[in-house]
Amino acid sequence: MAIIYNLDMRCYEILEQLLYTDEYVSVAQIADEKGLSKRSVYYDIQKINEWLEAQKLPLLEIERKKGIFIAKDQKEQIRRNLKEIPPKLAYTFLPTERVRIIICSVLQRSRQLHIDDFIEMCQVSRNTTIRDLKEATKELAKFQLKLFYENGKGYRIRGDLITKRSVFFLFFNSLADLYKKGALILPEEEKAEDIFGRLKKLEEELHAQYVTGILYSIAAFFSTIKNHSETVEFSENEEQEIKNTKEFQLVLKYFPEFEESEKLYLALHLLGSRTQSLSSDFMQRDTGQEVLRLAKVLVRSFSRIACVTFEKEEELIQAVSAHLKTSLYRYRYGVQLGNPMLDDIKNEYGDLFEITRNAAKSLEKEIGVPIPDGEIAYITLHFGAYISSGERKEEQKLKVLVVCPNGLSTANMIRKEIYTLVPSIQTVDIISLSDYEEDHDYNVVISTIVIENEENLIIVHPILSDSDRISILKKCMKYENQNVMNVMQITALAKKYMTESKLKEFKEELIEYFSDASLKAYTKQNEYGKSICQALDLRHIQIIRESMDWKEAVWAAARSLLEEGYIGQSYIEHMIEKTIKYGPYMFITEEVALLHSEIEDGSYMLGISCTVLKKPVVFKTRDGGERRAKIMLVLSAQDQVSHIKLLNDIMTIFKEDKNTEKLWKCEKTEAVEIMIKELMQGEE
């Protein structure tokens, strides 16, 4: 009966995907989700069917033009049998995973590690392992760490202790699921389980909620702490500050066997890993005010760079402030949470991510340390959740609950997307997994993890994919909204002309059609607008060779947009008034000015103009200094979203001074247009 256990991890995940959807799932959809070929998916389905056959369960059937659908009673049977599968499933590690396994294993150092140990861990050849070791050396060099081999002691990593620990948590977070599923084994598994159990009790006593997976990572790290000879050193003030927290008192209670410095380090991790803000006894009043000030700096920097006005600016500042309370300590002490959503956020919200990264430079300047991309990604979600793309109607009684263990910023972004996808939704509420109760009145429950016995559940990625959006649309269409009324009306008419079986198929295709139509409308609405190559044409490019004062230059730069109805005269007047009031606020580099004002000041359409000033225009600063503009751009927007991509392109072009010079030296408007296209192609 060995065949009973022939499900590998990939088959297991495909089967779970099928179990938690109420619709047909096509082979192409599975292939796209898992990054596989269709041939591989067919092979995996064959293996799943072998397992189902051994379990005496109905096999999966692929219906032509539809895909796979599992009936409700069949799902319950499969779920029961899945629980009996041993946790250790066959798994083939990716090259990046093998490199991270090597690095984390050496950093843990539960014993001497040699090349044969890595061969056994990763189940690859000696030559492949040698290549992986070279890649690990390159990866560590990015953090000023060095992997080396010492005779009689095995592989070791040399460098700053805080950095080494930071790298461990960064990489281990991405491997944690492999350990949990049994594809990898912790060197001190029983000890790690004991520490994890104590950490969960500590979490409960604190009434706190920690970032998903972080307690498991902490348990794995501290399970081998006795093998480490180095310890983190704290100043007297830092030590006292940590000791004054409730976290430290609970560490004393639950981990009395730890050395003093490791108790402090553990408390520090607990302080920096919450999804909520820190406890008030940790943040003194003046420090709290400082964090609030930094949040304002960041939000207003984003607002200035992105040319947006947040309707709920104070609420956003409070949300960012709560995030910074924990993250500032992470930056300072190298506490690394990692962000498993980083690549997804870059892919889905690339333009927003880049603008957030630009805005974060103002924060980096204030605090004196760089902010890692993983943190930029979290902050991106905060900004994305508060950018409004228009009015939302709340006419229907469709209620949705988002249960998200990945933090409020992720949940808020999911909520924003749901409102955009299904404008008729009355309520989208957010709760943590610990607050979820089976007895609720929500029509749809959306979560990034499985919730047992939840009939209305949709499993989604932390960053919604297109298939997630389709699932949400289809589920919501079963409740009262405009599209469902259309489906009901059309099927009522069609009933006269077709059999019951045909009518059922017809209704399913109608729902599919309306879902696809809604998704296309959503995609069009949710895009962050045109690129600079699409938005800027020859009519809005000019080269001015004569001298003029700054007010004349503003009128000249905006004239083409005014004449074609992109903006009104009041928009230009407001730009001039703001410059008089605040000084030359619009400079994005030493010699490039990006002129804009609020939408309500007279901006009607998305547009951009580019003016090359052969005789740079002088702007007086409020302190009596001067700024000279060689290039003036005028931006007009129609909403808070559609100009984001255009802005990101502008930042990309002018981040290097040499690009400003290239454009300034152009003698014809056609040359300016061609140069901008070439600069953007170079970036791609």
- Of 92 and 615, the structure prediction assigns the larger pLDDT to 615
525 falls in which pLDDT band (50, 70, 90)?
very low
Angle at the Cα of 308 from the Cα atoms of 306 and 309, rounded to 5 degrees? 145
Identical fold between 2-82 and 532-683: no
Residues 98-146 have pLDDT tens digits of 999 999 999 987 788 999 999 988 888 889 999 999 999 999 998 889 9
- The answer to whether the CB of 416 falls within 8 A of the CB of 463 is no
642 falls in which pLDDT band (50, 70, 90)?
confident
3-state helix/strand/coil string of 452-517: CCCCCEEECCCCCCHHHHHHHHHHHCCCCCHHHHHHHHHHHHHHHHCCHHHHHHHHHHHHHHHHHH
- E-strand spans in 479-606? 541-544, 592-595
Q: Is 483's pLDDT higher than 50?
A: no
Residues 444-455 have pLDDT tens digits of 898 877 787 787
Mean pLDDT of 376-399: 67
Q: Is 624's pLDDT higher than 70?
A: yes
Task: Report the alpha-carbon distance of residue 490 to residue 510 in Å, rounded.
Answer: 9
Q: Residue 214: what pLDDT?
A: 83
- Cβ count within 10 A of residue 491: 16
Q: Residue 393: what pLDDT?
A: 43
Q: Is 371's pLDDT higher than 90?
A: no
281 falls in which pLDDT band (50, 70, 90)?
very low
Mean pLDDT of 539-549: 94
Average pLDDT, whole number, for the chain?
81
Mean pLDDT of 20-49: 82
**Both structure tokens of 664:** 């300034």
Mean pLDDT of 177-187: 83
Task: Report the alpha-carbon distance of residue 488 to residue 491 in Å, rounded.
Answer: 5
Q: Residue 488: what pLDDT?
A: 57
DSSP 277: P
Q: Is 376's pLDDT higher than 70?
A: yes
542 falls in which pLDDT band (50, 70, 90)?
very high
- Of 615 and 173, the structure prediction assigns the larger pLDDT to 615
Q: Which helix or strand (DSSP H or E) is residue 509 part of?
A: helix 500-526
- Cβ count within 10 A of residue 540: 23
**Both structure tokens of 465:** 């994919």
Q: Residue 450: what pLDDT?
A: 79
String of DSSP letters for 56-121? T-PPP-EETTTEE---HHHHHHHHHHHTTS-S-------HHHHHHHHHHHHHH-SS---HHHHHHH
- Of 402 and 411, the structure prediction assigns the larger pLDDT to 402
Mean pLDDT highest for which of 39-48, 333-342, 628-637, 652-661? 628-637
Burial of 129 (0-12, 13-18, 19+ CB in 10 A): buried
Mean pLDDT of 399-413: 74
Q: Residue 138: what pLDDT?
A: 94
Q: For the full predicted model, state whether its pTM sits above 0.75.
A: no
Superfamily of domain 285-386: PRD domain (1.10.1790.10)
160 in helix, strand or coil? coil
**Both structure tokens of 212:** 């998903």
Q: Is 1's pLDDT higher than 60?
A: no
Q: Residue 208: what pLDDT?
A: 74
Q: Is 680's pLDDT higher than 80?
A: yes
CATH topology of domain 532-683: Mannitol-specific EII; Chain A (3.40.930)
Q: Residue 278: what pLDDT?
A: 47
Mean pLDDT of 50-78: 86
Q: Which residue has the tokens 């920096």?
A: 272
- C-alpha distances in Å from residue 318, one per residue of 94, 288, 323, 324, 383: 40, 11, 9, 10, 12
201 falls in which pLDDT band (50, 70, 90)?
very high
- Cβ count within 10 A of residue 312: 11
Residues 9-24 have pLDDT tens digits of 778 888 888 887 877 8
- The answer to whether the CB of 157 falls within 8 A of the CB of 103 is yes
Q: Residue 515: what pLDDT?
A: 56
CATH topology of domain 2-82: Arc Repressor Mutant, subunit A (1.10.10)
Mean pLDDT of 650-673: 92
**Among the ranges given (80-94, 400-414, 504-518), the one the predictor scored with the smallest mean pLDDT:** 504-518
- The answer to whether the CB of 640 falls within 8 A of the CB of 308 is yes
Task: Report the alpha-carbon distance of residue 345 to residue 62 in Å, rounded.
Answer: 33
Q: Residue 655: what pLDDT?
A: 84
553 falls in which pLDDT band (50, 70, 90)?
very high
Domain range list for the chain: 2-82, 285-386, 399-526, 532-683
Mean pLDDT highest for which of 151-165, 192-206, 645-659? 192-206
- Cβ count within 10 A of residue 635: 24
409 falls in which pLDDT band (50, 70, 90)?
low
Mean pLDDT of 400-422: 74
**Among the ranges given (341-350, 473-482, 645-654), the one the predictor scored with the smallest mean pLDDT:** 473-482
End-to-end CA distance of the chain: 54
Task: Report the alpha-carbon distance of residue 647 to residue 166 in Å, rounded.
Answer: 34
**Among the ranges given (31-45, 83-97, 213-227, 244-258), the one the predictor scored with the smallest mean pLDDT:** 83-97
Beta-strand relationship, 399-403 and 444-447: parallel
**Both structure tokens of 462:** 């932390």
3-state helix/strand/coil string of 23-43: CCECHHHHHHHHCCCHHHHHH
Helix axes 115-122, 126-141, angle to 10 degrees: 100
Beta-bridged to residue 618, according to DSSP, are 628
Residues near 488 by beta carbon (within 8 Å), at least 6 away in sequence:
none
- C-alpha distances in Å from residue 463, one per residue of 119, 340, 456, 595: 34, 10, 20, 33
Beta-bridged to residue 400, according to DSSP, are 428, 444
Q: Is 280's pLDDT higher than 50?
A: no
Q: Residue 634: what pLDDT?
A: 94
Q: Is 290's pLDDT higher than 90?
A: no
- Cβ count within 10 A of residue 681: 9
Burial of 285 (0-12, 13-18, 19+ CB in 10 A): exposed
Contacts of 677-683 with C-beta under 8 Å, sequence gap 24+, read 677/533, 679/653, 680/531, 680/532, 680/533, 680/649, 680/652, 680/653, 683/652, 683/653
466 falls in which pLDDT band (50, 70, 90)?
low
406 falls in which pLDDT band (50, 70, 90)?
low
